[in-house]
């Protein structure tokens, strides 16, 4: 793996703060921890009373990536 030379700390801190805010809001209003494995595992159960927010959470992740990529006119960088 290689570090990019023009890495900026500001956007990373803002992104981390937004993730933390989202987790705190979900815990405060829904009483659930926003962990992808728990959300996905719960959505795959036979009977899920709270399926709507789980699907919204799971669909929102790739939609947000596509939206930000479109707004910034760039493709998500994936390098393995």
pLDDT tens digits, one per residue of 32-48? 777 888 888 888 888 88
| pLDDT at residue 16 in the model | 86
Question: In angstroms, rounded to a whole number, what is the distance separating the alpha carbons of residues 43 and 53?
Answer: 9
> How would DSSP label each residue in 22-38?
HHHHHHHHHS----HHH
Q: Are 48 and 41 in contact (CB under 8 A)?
A: no
| pLDDT at residue 15 in the model | 82
What six digits make up the tokens of 71? 């707004």
Q: Give the chain's end-to-end CA distance (angstroms, integer).
A: 7
Q: Domain extents for the chain?
A: 1-34, 35-75
* pLDDT one-digit tens code per residue, 52-63: 888 888 898 889
């Amino acid at each position: 793996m290689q570090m990019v030379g023009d890495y900026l700390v500001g956007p990373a801190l803002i992104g981390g703060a937004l993730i933390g805010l989202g987790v705190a809001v979900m815990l405060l209003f829904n009483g659930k921890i926003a962990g992808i494995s728990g959300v996905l595992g719960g959505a795959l159960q036979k009977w899920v009373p709270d399926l709507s927010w789980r699907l919204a959470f799971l669909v929102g992740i790739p939609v947000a990536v596509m939206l930000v990529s479109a707004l910034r006119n760039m493709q998500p960088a994936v390098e393995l």
